[in-house]
Amino acid sequence: MTLQQLRYLIAIANHGSISAAAHTLYVSQSSLSVAVRDIERETGVTIFERSNRGITLTSDGIELLGYARQVVEQADLMEQRYSGRGGEAAQRLSITSQHYAFVVEAFLELAEEYEGAGYNFSLRETRTSEVIEDVRDFRSDLGVLYLSTFNESVIGHALSDANLSFNLLFTAQPHVFVSDKHPLASRTEVTVEDLEDYPRYAFEQGANNSFFYSEEPLAELPHTKCISVSDRGTLSNLLAHHNGYTISTGVLSSEMYTGIASVPLQTKELMRVGYIVHNERQLSPLAQSYIEKLSLFVEGYQIGLAGL
């Protein structure tokens, strides 16, 4: 099979029909049909089920499509990497993460080191499931997320299925973030019961919106008021100007230093924050350098806690 055939297969799956894919790709439907038949003959599997309502992927087709995406994405990355002027390859790094300030700060510090040199860096803060998917499908060099006693069975199983390994960066006691004018802001510690009357802010998780995929620990506890957001900027505004709260590691981002307080939460639950990598991928020196910067930020965070 060829890369072009795999691209055709991905396009058909994305559009849900051969005719729509053909229209987008400006090729004939017969060319796409032949490509699918050739791949099915070569692999010995049926990729699509055909009916009067269109086509759907078979279970074998879903698995094969996953491999096809990896092959095409890696080919695209290789082409981009080695198509630099004069044969010089730009430095490349791709990170996908849950919403953590220290991830951004380490990323920016690394980018500053490469100022004046050619590079292609990307950082995506997104949902938990997409962190796993990006690393699984080689779209990202590594991902950052957290495990706890509550979610580790589900998230750990997802990591195992994706052939990913989890590497611990630090362990944190959950903290409550509130406005510095909030009634709880002056407390040295708060309990779960203290939070019952206040709105809870959480990062939305899309189709995988379950307690186990939540970025906030203790998501399984009942709360009658909840606001979901998709970015840290919105969350910071809500925290600074309204009477709600969120639960996280206790590490404030730069935009949170003014107007927001971090108060330890009384709980036995701990957050084990770490990075995930694909077991079949060897990290580049650049990715290893980024991990070192993450570790330095973690050390600074732990020293700061020790001084409190």
DSSP string, 137-206: TTSSSEEEEEE-TTTHHHHHHHHHHTTEEEEEEEEE--EEEEETTSTTTT-S-B-TGGGTTSPEEEE--G
Quick one: pLDDT at residue 270?
Answer: 93
Residue that finishes a domain, picked among 23, 51, 81: 81
Based on the fold, state whether residues 184 and 121 are members of the same structural domain: no
Q: What is the CATH number of the domain that holds 64?
A: 1.10.10.10
What is the mean pLDDT of the segment spanning 16-26? 85
Closest CA to 216 of 277, 164, 265, 165: 265
Q: How far apart are CA 18 and CA 55, in angstroms?
A: 8
Based on the fold, state whether residues 97 and 239 are members of the same structural domain: no
State which H helix or E strand residue 259 sits in. Answer: none
Give the start-end residues of each E strand in the chain: 48-51, 54-57, 91-97, 119-125, 142-147, 164-172, 175-179, 200-203, 226-229, 246-248, 260-264, 271-278
Q: What is the CATH number of the domain that holds 262?
A: 3.40.190.10
Based on the fold, state whether residues 149 and 292 are members of the same structural domain: yes
The winner for highest mean pLDDT among 11-15, 149-153, 280-284 is 149-153
Question: Number of folded domains in the chain?
Answer: 3
Q: How far apart are CA 251 and CA 12, in angstroms?
A: 44
Based on the fold, state whether residues 149 and 190 are members of the same structural domain: no
What Cα–Cα distance (Å) separates residue 90 from each residue in 142, 302, 308? 19, 34, 43
Residue type, 124: R
Residue that finishes a domain, picked among 51, 81, 111: 81
Based on the fold, state whether residues 153 and 207 are members of the same structural domain: no
Domain that holds residue 187: 172-271
Based on the fold, state whether residues 159 and 286 are members of the same structural domain: yes
Based on the fold, state whether residues 100 and 76 are members of the same structural domain: no
Based on the fold, state whether residues 90 and 159 are members of the same structural domain: yes
Based on the fold, state whether residues 18 and 51 are members of the same structural domain: yes
Quick one: pLDDT at residue 38?
Answer: 92
Angle between helices 3-15 and 18-25 (to 10 degrees): 120
Based on the fold, state whether residues 122 and 155 are members of the same structural domain: yes
Instruction: Name the pLDDT band for 189 (thresholds 50, 70, 90).
Output: very high
What is the mean pLDDT of the segment spanning 202-228? 88
For the record, the structure tokens of 234 come out as 């919105």
Based on the fold, state whether residues 210 and 292 are members of the same structural domain: no
pLDDT tens across 30-66, in order? 889 999 999 999 999 999 988 777 788 999 999 999 8
The answer to whether 144 touches 95, Cβ cutoff 8 Å, is: yes
Instruction: Name the pLDDT band for 301 (thresholds 50, 70, 90).
Output: low
Based on the fold, state whether residues 123 and 182 are members of the same structural domain: no
Q: What is the DSSP letter of 208?
A: G
Residue that finishes a domain, picked among 81, 111, 132: 81
What is the mean pLDDT of the segment spanning 124-145? 93
